[in-house]
Amino acid sequence: MILATYSLWRRDVLRFLRQPSRIVGALLTPVIFWFVIGSGLGTSFQPATGEAGFLPYYFPGSLALIVLFTALFSTISIIEDRQEGFLQGVLASPAPRASIVLGKALGSMTLALVNGAVFMLLLPVSGLSPGAGEILAAMASVALLGLALGGLGIMIAWPMRSTQGFHGIMNAVLVPMWLLSGALFPATGASGWVQALMRVNPLTPAVEILRAFLTGVPAANLASAAGTVAVFALVTLSISTLLVSRPSQ
């Protein structure tokens, strides 16, 4: 189990190192969004929580978008692996099905950590100044969220036969999920239905945690937010394992 998980994880990381452009794309879009939208809105944005402007408010949300893009892009390779044939070799091996899911999700997590760490290099120009401990705590949250979204990506990619379908779901479901996570605007002041969606969105507590560590704005309940993200990870990984274990017809 551990060997198989390690090997699948290692393969994902090696592939990333050998064709980094695929994952770097997941970093660039959010950075450009952050800079352009953040600078564009500038000081016309006045959050109730007392941050200086939109760039700092938007920084943790951009980090969440980087984790989302990185984790999901890395799971698209499942569809390519199925088309190209690599996946059938893995499925015909005695490797436990859970190790197939875990290896992939840990790969997503690792790439999310790498891209997240690169984005953190922009902290000095973001107007935020968290301490080393806060940065480490934020990276731990990135890891947990990367694992959860890796699991979500596997859930979506597993039954898919084309990468176009995956991109469709990404645009129709996952990007709106991010929009409604508090990444771009706070729940206070939003319409009722938006607030309701934000409350049930599992990305909301993740963004809340990142914001708490990076901007110093206290989260309502850090422990319960972290617990929700952990449950989110557990659910997506369990459903993925069930999907992967189910024999196809």
Partner 1 sequence: MTALEVTDLKHRYGERESLRGLSFSVARGDLFALLGPNGGGKTTLFRIISTLIAPTSGTVEVFGTDVVRQPAAARRQLGVVFQSAAIDPWLTVLENLRHHGYLYGLSGPALARGIERGLERFGLTPRAGDRVGTLSGGLRRRVELAKALLPEPPLLILDEPSSGLDPAARRDLLQELRRLRDDEGTTVVLTTHLIEEAAVADRVGILHEGQLVAIGAPADLVANLPARAPTLDDVFTHHTGSGLSS
Pick the binder of partner 1 from 64, 76, 90, 244 (CB under 8 A): 90
Q: Is 160 left (phi over 0), alpha (psi -120 to 50) or beta?
A: beta
Name 48's Cβ contacts closer than 8 Å, sequence gap at least 6: 186, 188, 189
Residue 88 CB coordination number (10 Å): 11
Given a contact cutoff of 8 angstroms between Cβ atoms, the answer to whether 148 and 233 are in contact is yes
**Angle ∠(71,13,66) on CA atoms, nearest 5:** 25
Given a contact cutoff of 8 angstroms between Cβ atoms, the answer to whether 63 and 144 are in contact is no
77 or 236: whose CB is closer to partner 1?
77
Pick the binder of partner 1 from 29, 84, 173, 189 (CB under 8 A): 84
Report if residue 94 touches partner 1, rule: CB under 8 A: yes
Report if residue 223 touches partner 1, rule: CB under 8 A: no
Given a contact cutoff of 8 angstroms between Cβ atoms, the answer to whether 67 and 142 are in contact is yes
Q: How far is the CB of 43 from partner 1 (least distance, A)?
A: 47
Pick the binder of partner 1 from 49, 88, 129, 171 (CB under 8 A): 88
Token pair for 247: 């024999």
Binding mask 5-24 for partner 1 (x = CB under 8 A): -xxx-xx--xx--xx-----
Q: How far is CA 74 from CA 12, 63, 123, 169, 236, in A?
A: 8, 17, 25, 15, 16
106 or 233: whose CB is closer to partner 1?
106
Pick the binder of partner 1 from 39, 93, 221, 224 (CB under 8 A): 93
Binding span for partner 1 by CB under 8 A among 54-62, 93-101, 105-113, 177-185: 93-101
Report if residue 3 touches partner 1, rule: CB under 8 A: yes
Contact positions vs partner 1 (CB under 8 A): 3-4, 6-8, 10-11, 14-15, 18-19, 84-96, 247-249
